[in-house]
Structure 1
Amino acid sequence: MPWHDEALVVSGEAARDCARHFIQRWNVHKADKYRFVESYPYLVPKSYSDEELFDHSVLNSILGEDRPAICVDAQCVRSVSFWSCGTQTIEHSIQNAYIRMIDNAQHFIYIENQFFISIAQDSTIKNGIGDALYRRIVRACIDKEKFRVYVIIPLLPGFSNVNAVQAVLYFIMRSINKGETSLFERLKQSGVTDPEEYISFYGMRNWDILMGSLVTEIIYVHSKLMIVDDRMCICGSANINDRSLQGSRDSEFCLVVNDIEMIDSTLNGQTQKVGKFCSTWRKKLFRQILGITNENDLNVDDPCSDEFYNYFRETARNNAQIYEEVFNTLPTNHIR
């Protein structure tokens, strides 16, 4: 099964903080499990001079001459607690960052994630991502704003155990559109007559000819990425589920990036200043998803416009229909 994943390469203060987080986690587990094992030494954080800290030559050598580094404002955020990092309090700054970024979004949100499990007013699911999206979309509806949310998730969970697949699908569908507390139903109850005018969900699939036969496979989305307004993004290890976001469970690490180098672009038909890093990343992903090999074939600058949003949705709808007719694929609306 082919995977789709996204990651960041950083240098400077953000890279130093990444290293210190790793050292903190290493030393906690060294003390807990390998205290008397000499082959697992304690690690000591390194001190850096300003000259060393802001030397980007290594980063430039990784990226190459054709991809110069872009200067950004980066902040490390985590999900950690006593068991994972030795902290006396539970830290869920990743969830805090997601919610704040969604609340502050002005034009659009683009999400890629391995999961989308977030149910408001639920006895089991506690994270607030779905509720933040609900609030922002309702606000857009009341204020008559043009606001778009694109969400890319796997078409099916990547587990071999049937019970696990069914359980994950159950919670994902309850998060999106099944039941009164799902995102779509709550939006409808709050006056958003057509939630898909604001938010839409997609999966990825590809085809090829193998040994003379036409075959297809799901492209498994493993990214944990959100880009907002082509100005800020968050990327790292955290899924949109309680395990990653509550802080007391899985240990996770992400970077929040705010652009400081601005370029001209278009959002909602208006000329806007957008971030060089975030907009470049988002446009690359849109071209990849839509199969655009020549930048001149389709302008992906404005994800808010009716023209582009409808094109994106119609392309996905047509592709889904073709795959169903040719391969009899799952999932499908014909089986509920």
Structure 2
Amino acid sequence: MSAPGPPFTDLSPIVVEGRNCWRIECADKARMIVDAADYFALLKRLMEGARERILLIGWDFDPRISLTPDGQGKGEALGHFLLRLAHREPDRDIDILRWNFGGLKHLLVPRIVAMILRWKATRAISFRLDGAHPVGCSHHQKVAVFDDHLAVCGGIDVGARRWDTRDHHDDDPHRVAPDGKPYLPWHDSTMILAGPVGNALADLGNERWQRATRKPLRELSGWGENWPDDLPADFEGVDVAISRTRAEYDDSGEVREIEQLYLDMIAAARRFIYFENQYFTCGKIAAAIAARLEEDDPPEFVMVMPRTADGWLEQVAMDAARVRLVRAISKARHGDRLKVYYPRTAGGAPIYVHAKTAIVDDRLIRVGSANLNNRSMGLDSECDVTIDAGLPANTEILPTIRRLRESLIAEHLGVDPAEVAARFDDNGSLIATIEALRGSGRSLELLDLVAPGPFDEFVADNELLDPTSPDAMFESLAERGLKKSWRRGKAWMKRRRPFR
């Protein structure tokens, strides 16, 4: 692998409206927010500053959590905070939409039911459940919009067991769930955006609200919430692409922009793709990576993931499929250019990776809700935002994307970002950089690719819990599976469009 040369000067856009994204809109300002401690604190301020509407859309929403927990993991509960906001500004709408099936378990928790009833009695708060999707699908977007102008889009749910700092300290006393139990460190990411792209995400939120409730959100005056004065922006005056996944339902057609963008990113990469993702079970994506690794001088692929999925069912469905796919990719001619790591604390505890971030060649950064699994490609409602240096307005952003990548890798390795930068400048290899800086204590550990047992292998190979589409859930075992998804990926790579 040769040392990195000067910044690219011949980039064509990877994002193309109508192909792999819904809309491309300007962001007056944008900033990546890493880990929920910073996001929750910011979210609290944004909600307090909103003038006409707070719109929260998500897979999970837990009114028991504190956005700014104290040293015992306690603080003002989110539900009480929203009531206080509603009473202080009764003409400001607080609209909350969460996935319906995931919310059913909360009906068994008296504290949550009591809070929802109090919300129902408050004119300014509207709490609704989203069931506008086929059976077996979920509403997985994580979007917040303030006054139809300022928006947040990413992977962080406003739920329990999400709060953590970038330090990921062992036994952090702030890291306590609503049931009083401590939980392991959690890594996540999202992005705040202002300007026309915020208006676009407001349109997406309004569309989703209408789909779920059959009623539109009320029109706003449009004067909007301003960007916080003390929040530095990573990007200013850039164009941002919004990509979606949506299953066909009622009169709405299927949308697979997110899958297409992943494939186009893999096809366009020259030096590397850095992924942070919760799952890797999509055979189509895996086959596209394997096809690149058959080339003479392919890019590197680095994945930072959880050591194991969160929950027994997810471990059966996702961990075995991940092992099967990574082992298959390793058989490619340059299979050693894929490495899968998981982060650990100074004390050796695994840090759970829930982020859905991707960086290509330091020329494109993508943050959103979509995992590298089949569900995020065709079943669940998803939303990602991407900033691509190939767009004419974005030609100056390469140093910023590089800085964000160095910061993420340094966080996981427990080193200074300058060390990551220096190593990469020396060797030109993302893998060599990580391998040189890995060590004891806080660091990245190579994923142990232990062969799955017969039951786990059967579930994974047949995609029983991670189907490629709503219809696939009802196909026979002979018509579905990882091998079929893999073949689709290989076929796509043979006819992919060229990138300069």
Answer whether TM exceeds 0.5 for this pair. Answer: yes
| Cα deviation 1:31-50 (Å, max 9, x = unaligned) | 2xxxxxxxxx63146585xx
How many Å apart are 1:87 and its aligned residue?
A: 5.2
Alignment of 1:311-330 (within 5 A): 311-316=433-438, 318-319=439-440
Alignment of 1:79-118 (within 5 A): 79-83=245-249, 88-118=252-282
In structure 1, which of residues 164, 167, 184 is the aligned counterpart of residue 330 of structure 2? 184
In structure 2, which of residues 199, 202, 226 is the aligned counterpart of residue 19 of structure 1? 202
TM-score w.r.t. the length of structure 1 is 0.69
Q: Distance in 2 between matches of 1:285 and 1:323?
A: 12
How many Å apart are 1:88 and its aligned residue?
A: 2.8
| Cα deviation 1:120-171 (Å, max 9, x = unaligned) | xxxxxxxx211221222223xx2x35x2211111011111x3x442332111
In structure 2, which of residues 261, 270, 292 is the aligned counterpart of residue 136 of structure 1? 292
Q: Distance in 1 between matches of 2:407 and 2:365?
A: 14
Name the residue aligned to 1:171.
321
Name the residue aligned to 2:387.
257
Name the residue aligned to 1:327.
none
Q: Distance in 2 between matches of 1:203 and 1:291?
A: 13
How many Å apart are 1:298 and its aligned residue?
A: 5.7
Q: Distance in 2 between matches of 1:108 and 1:332?
A: 22
| Cα deviation 1:67-124 (Å, max 9, x = unaligned) | 56433220111011344xx6531001011111111111111110000001122xxxxx
Structure 1's unaligned 5+ residue stretches are 32-40, 120-127, 209-215, 264-273, 325-329
Name the residue aligned to 2:154.
none
The answer on whether the counterparts of 2:341 and 2:444 sit within 8 Å (CA) in structure 1 is no
The answer on whether the counterparts of 2:187 and 2:354 sit within 8 Å (CA) in structure 1 is yes
The answer on whether the counterparts of 1:23 and 1:45 sit within 8 Å (CA) in structure 2 is no
The answer on whether the counterparts of 1:283 and 1:300 sit within 8 Å (CA) in structure 2 is no
How many Å apart are 1:332 and its aligned residue?
A: 4.8
Name the residue aligned to 2:343.
204
| Cα deviation 1:238-293 (Å, max 9, x = unaligned) | 011011111xx211111121134556xxxxxxxxxx61332221111122122223
Q: Distance in 2 between matches of 1:315 and 1:19?
A: 42
SS at match of 2:287: helix
Instruction: Name the % identity.
Output: 23
One-letter amino acid of the counterpart of residue 200, structure 2: D
In structure 2, which of residues 191, 203, 217 is the aligned counterpart of residue 43 of structure 1? 217
SS at match of 2:307: coil
Name the residue aligned to 1:292.
415
Question: Residues 151 and 304 of structure 1: is their aligned pair in 2 closer, same or farther, counting only changes over 3 Å?
Answer: farther
Name the residue aligned to 1:58.
226
Q: Distance in 1 between matches of 2:219 and 2:362?
A: 34
Q: Distance in 1 between matches of 2:444 and 2:268?
A: 37
Q: Distance in 2 between matches of 1:88 and 1:323?
A: 43
Q: Distance in 1 between matches of 2:420 and 2:262?
A: 33
The answer on whether the counterparts of 2:281 and 2:372 sit within 8 Å (CA) in structure 1 is yes
| Cα deviation 1:178-232 (Å, max 9, x = unaligned) | xxxx2223x1xxxx1x511x21110011134xxxxxxx42100000011001111
The answer on whether the counterparts of 2:339 and 2:431 sit within 8 Å (CA) in structure 1 is no
RMSD: 3.2
Q: Distance in 1 between matches of 2:246 and 2:383?
A: 9
One-letter amino acid of the counterpart of residue 199, structure 2: R
SS at match of 2:281: coil
Name the residue aligned to 1:195.
335
Structure 2's unaligned 5+ residue stretches are 1-183, 453-500
Question: Residues 148 and 226 of structure 1: is their aligned pair in 2 closer, same or farther, counting only changes over 3 Å?
Answer: same
Q: Distance in 1 between matches of 2:419 and 2:330?
A: 35
1:240 aligns with 2:414: no
Question: Residues 303 and 202 of structure 1: is their aligned pair in 2 closer, same or farther, counting only changes over 3 Å?
Answer: farther
In structure 1, which of residues 279, 283, 302 is the aligned counterpart of residue 406 of structure 2? 283
One-letter amino acid of the counterpart of residue 251, structure 1: S
Question: Residues 87 and 96 of structure 1: is their aligned pair in 2 closer, same or farther, counting only changes over 3 Å?
Answer: farther
One-letter amino acid of the counterpart of residue 312, structure 1: I
SS at match of 1:204: strand
One-letter amino acid of the counterpart of residue 3, structure 1: W
1:153 aligns with 2:305: yes
1:71 aligns with 2:245: no
Question: Residues 77 and 300 of structure 1: is their aligned pair in 2 closer, same or farther, counting only changes over 3 Å?
Answer: farther
TM-score w.r.t. the length of structure 2 is 0.48
